[in-house]
Structure 1
Amino acid sequence: MTAPTHVALELDDIQRGVLSPRPTPYAATYILFRIDDRAHGRELMRRVRAAVTSAADTVNPLGETWVSVALTFHGLKALGVPPQALETFAWEFRQGMAARATALGDVGESGPEHWEAPLGTSDVHVVLVAVAPDSARLEAAVDRARPAYHRLSGVTAIWRQNCHALPTEAEPFGYRDGISHPAVEGSGFAGSNPLAPPLKAGEFVLGYPDELGGVQTPQPDILGRNGTYVAFRKLHQRVAAFRQYLRDNSTGPEDEELLAAKLMGRWRSGAPLALSPSCDDPGLGADPRRNNAFLYERDDPAGFVTPGGCHIRRGNPRDAAVAGEPRLHRMIRRGTAYGPPLPEGVLEDDGADRGLMFTFIGAHLGRQFEFVQSEWMNDGVFFGAAGTRDPIVGANDGSGDFTVPRRPLRRRLRALPRFVVTRGGEYCFMPGLNALSWLGDLKD
């Protein structure tokens, strides 16, 4: 079947957290709940429906503030969703993130046996996320949502993670984050790369044609339509170890920053190597009209400017043939820092827990999130370097290396350690607003 050239999304039924760019700066919190009483769980769905903002509602008395809610497979079961409906959800979602650990590279110290409780267990049923421009408005958003679960003895809050984004938009390793996001047909939100046409809505929202012309919708239609899949991951970042590795493998401060840029594909400011190959350009890095407007294959097929194995080129090969036509592996990615920043220049670990709460949003867990994790982040066969891993977030174990193409001799970094450790995560389904009402009205 051929997908239409334009689709009108039902924005009033899609949760705002699916498509809306986050404010800058912002604060966020993730709260997990366990449902012990089915009736109270359904009441939670009815109440939270009033707190969740739709993608059509961009005017809020609290400013750029909203609340989103998602459920795990165990959560849908706890609400009493019929088995025949549960079987229509993606099989990766039904298995859960912990069961998919090997495919995702969550092994060794990142394995589920080491995850922070209760992440990855059957106790996690509901995930509530609140986003706001600052901590004060974030707490106001949480207060607005609190009546949804207050005095429901059969619903228990079991975990919370507060997050923040600095005015510099830097993540714990010091790079500007949140730069790249795709344009979604019918969403009304522009993508960050003016050279890339919008992707079909069905790549991100269930119930619409995707890049292949297919339509994925869990059943019944009122439950699946206008929903999406979400992967939440708590990723601990070893900032001191990362800084020390840069120091040990560089000839001086300037070379250290160049090496950091080659590993990421961007300078710390967010300026891409593709547009500023020899030195950082903070003005370019801070300009959302320019800092993502580039391609690879057209101008740098061999990776002499932006190495093929660097983080951003692995995560989004852009116009490379491996990226696929149609473009099947793009995803909406959001990251929010947590924990105190490590002071500048410190090379010793202070023992604090810091890192990123990573969020994937997409309609295809398998060919989007899992494919990118297994084939692009944890293998390099797609660009001719089989067995290599992403130097920043890959499942490195000290035996891998990273190559910087250059003339006359390439530069090779050896013994890459693991800089990012998975502390836990969940696969979730983020329903449309009508689906929240449907879940609240379920009967035994």
Structure 2
Amino acid sequence: MGTETETAPLELDDIQAGALRGRPNPYAGAFLFLRIDDPQDGRTLVRRLAKVVHPADDVTDPLTQTSFSAAFTHAGLCALGVPEESLASFAPEFVQGMAARAGLLGDVGPNAPERWESPLGSDDVHMVLVMLAPNRPQFEQTLELARVTIDDLDGITGVYRQDVFSPADGRNSFGFNDGISQPCVEGAGIPPTNPGERPVKPGEFILGYEDETGSVAPVPQPEVLGRNGSYLVIRKLYTDVAAWRRYLRENASGTDEETLLAAKIVGRWPSGAPLALSPDEDDPELGSDPSRNNVFLYGDDDKGLKCPVGSHARRMNPRDAQVVGEIRLHRLIRRAATFGPALPEGVLEDDGADRGLMFAAINAHLGRQFEFVQAQWIGDGKFVGAPDEVDPLAGAHEDHGTFTVPRRPIRRRLRDLPTFVVNRGGHYFFVPGLSALRWIADLAD
């Protein structure tokens, strides 16, 4: 099955919208984690969810549409009574779970599973409901829908909830416009934002379709269970904004240089304008224009004089850069959402508030997509020609890392970077198609 070619169009009416459609912008929402204590109640919940989860063929403008998605851990599928032969047909990374693969992912030290927030990473998390709405009132309506769907089911227990929202300025906790670059998926009906990049084969994100290798990834069995599904990665990432600001202050001669240094680390200006198009100063008009702010490649900047090769944005999507491996085999659909209050402007000491990003990513190949990106593009510097450097923003700087900023006549080497982002816990989930939800709901004890 893993070597056959599938040429049929995407069955958008059977794919959960959250797997392909962007989140609303602005947004308010929550990640609600549940435990299934009774299989029958679990299947009743799944039956109800099959009626309210949004399909990807809903052409309502995603910027104004509420998104409601459901996904399950391996332990959750066990709790629902999915047969052993079906459980064994899932990707091995999913079966093992994120915590078990911490060493490969670089989740050590402050990121280690024993330091994760309970119950994240444990078998007490069986499923997640992701609810994102364009405003607070619509989110409250969606939350009420979830409540009435669950409340009379004694065998379902809420174990963790993380509210998310977009700040008034639309920027993440580090002060940057985020989530700009996303792969265009062939057949999804969503126009590309970068005409210089051809659409990615749907099998990179949705199971049952041809991928970039010309084959089809192994589909969990039976076919109705796996086809039109995907794997979802969720990680709660705490951001040490105070440490970020202090580092910029200590390594810059003034406010303008702080902003430039931050942009070199991120790969974009705070507005979202890419260094590749505006290397010398921020351009808010460009940054806020979705028809222009992603229209670039790196082929004319191989030395990174405009955008450092090791910057966060360029690592996460090297585009046409010459790096080790085929870039198109490692793309992710990312759905980061901000949580926690912003650190007040100018404050350089941590206030103890919980703030950061709920990182969420869709992929069909956990090993060569998310895990490769996390271990190689974020956690290693070999592919950018700097073996001792990791991602300057998202990487774990256990021994206080370095970051090279190319410039003429002499490059600048930043030293003693602290860790700005800490993983507080996460899971691998399976996002079933709508037919699969109904199949699960009809399982017998």
Same fold per TM (> 0.5)?
Answer: yes
Verify the 8 A CA contact 1:316 1:323 in the aligned structure 2: no
Mapped to 2, the partners of 1:255 and 1:321 lie a distance apart of: 29
One-letter code aligned to 2:264: K
Q: Normalization by structure 2: what TM-score?
A: 0.96
Mapped to 2, the partners of 1:251 and 1:60 lie a distance apart of: 45
Verify the 8 A CA contact 1:378 1:387 in the aligned structure 2: no
Q: Can you list the C-alpha shifts for 1:168-217, whole angstroms capped at 9, x where unaligned? A: 32100001011011100110012332211100000000010100111121
**Residue correspondence of structure 1 range 382-401 to structure 2 within 5 A:** 382-401=383-402
Mapped to 1, the partners of 2:361 and 2:220 lie a distance apart of: 19
One-letter code aligned to 2:125: V
Q: Counterpart of 1:81?
A: 82
One-letter code aligned to 2:39: R
Q: Counterpart of 1:221?
A: 223
Q: Counterpart of 2:58?
A: 57
The structural deviation recorded for 1:61 is: 13
Verify the 8 A CA contact 1:323 1:329 in the aligned structure 2: no
Deviation larger for 340-349 or 395-404: 395-404
- Secondary structure of the corresponding residue to residue 11 of structure 1: coil
One-letter code aligned to 2:238: H
Q: Can you list the C-alpha shifts for 1:276-314, whole angstroms capped at 9, x where unaligned? A: 010000000001011111111x21011111111100111
One-letter code aligned to 2:432: P
Verify the 8 A CA contact 1:7 1:201 in the aligned structure 2: no
The question of 1:43 aligning with 2:44 is answered yes
Change (3 A) 1:61 1:334: closer
Mapped to 2, the partners of 1:51 and 1:354 lie a distance apart of: 30
Mapped to 2, the partners of 1:431 and 1:28 lie a distance apart of: 21
Q: 2:275 aligns with which of 273, 285, 289?
A: 273
Mapped to 2, the partners of 1:336 and 1:86 lie a distance apart of: 30
Q: Counterpart of 1:138?
A: 139
One-letter code aligned to 1:228: S
Verify the 8 A CA contact 1:74 1:122 in the aligned structure 2: yes
Q: Counterpart of 1:260?
A: 262
- The runs of 5 or more residues in structure 2 that have no matched partner are none
Deviation larger for 37-46 or 185-194: 185-194
The question of 1:200 aligning with 2:195 is answered no
Change (3 A) 1:80 1:241: same
The question of 1:309 aligning with 2:303 is answered no
Deviation larger for 158-167 or 434-443: 158-167
The structural deviation recorded for 1:324 is: 4.3
- Secondary structure of the corresponding residue to residue 322 of structure 1: coil
The structural deviation recorded for 1:387 is: 2.8
Verify the 8 A CA contact 2:24 2:62 in the aligned structure 1: no
- Secondary structure of the corresponding residue to residue 57 of structure 2: coil
Q: Can you list the C-alpha shifts for 1:303-354, whole angstroms capped at 9, x where unaligned? A: 1111111001111110023264472001101111000001111111111010
Mapped to 1, the partners of 2:329 and 2:277 lie a distance apart of: 26
Mapped to 1, the partners of 2:181 and 2:29 lie a distance apart of: 19
Verify the 8 A CA contact 2:239 2:357 in the aligned structure 1: yes
Deviation larger for 316-325 or 109-118: 316-325
- Secondary structure of the corresponding residue to residue 382 of structure 1: helix
Q: Counterpart of 1:406?
A: 407
The structural deviation recorded for 1:60 is: 9.2
Q: Counterpart of 2:252?
A: 250
Change (3 A) 1:62 1:347: closer
Verify the 8 A CA contact 1:398 1:418 in the aligned structure 2: no
The structural deviation recorded for 1:144 is: 1.9
- Secondary structure of the corresponding residue to residue 32 of structure 1: strand
- Secondary structure of the corresponding residue to residue 12 of structure 1: coil
Mapped to 1, the partners of 2:320 and 2:120 lie a distance apart of: 36
Q: Counterpart of 1:351?
A: 352
Mapped to 1, the partners of 2:246 and 2:51 lie a distance apart of: 49
Mapped to 2, the partners of 1:263 and 1:122 lie a distance apart of: 37
The structural deviation recorded for 1:228 is: 0.3
- Secondary structure of the corresponding residue to residue 327 of structure 1: helix
Q: Counterpart of 1:291?
A: 293
Change (3 A) 1:170 1:326: closer
Q: Counterpart of 2:119?
A: 118
- Aligned alpha-carbon RMSD (Å): 1.6
Q: Counterpart of 2:30?
A: 29
- Secondary structure of the corresponding residue to residue 329 of structure 2: coil
The structural deviation recorded for 1:167 is: 4.3
- Secondary structure of the corresponding residue to residue 356 of structure 1: strand
The structural deviation recorded for 1:9 is: 0.8
The structural deviation recorded for 1:438 is: 0.5
Q: Can you list the C-alpha shifts for 1:78-134, whole angstroms capped at 9, x where unaligned? A: 111111111111111001011111111111111110111110000000100111001
Mapped to 2, the partners of 1:201 and 1:272 lie a distance apart of: 27
**Residue correspondence of structure 1 range 369-384 to structure 2 within 5 A:** 369-384=370-385
Mapped to 2, the partners of 1:198 and 1:124 lie a distance apart of: 34
Deviation larger for 287-296 or 161-170: 161-170
Verify the 8 A CA contact 2:41 2:156 in the aligned structure 1: yes
Change (3 A) 1:174 1:323: farther
Mapped to 2, the partners of 1:55 and 1:13 lie a distance apart of: 7
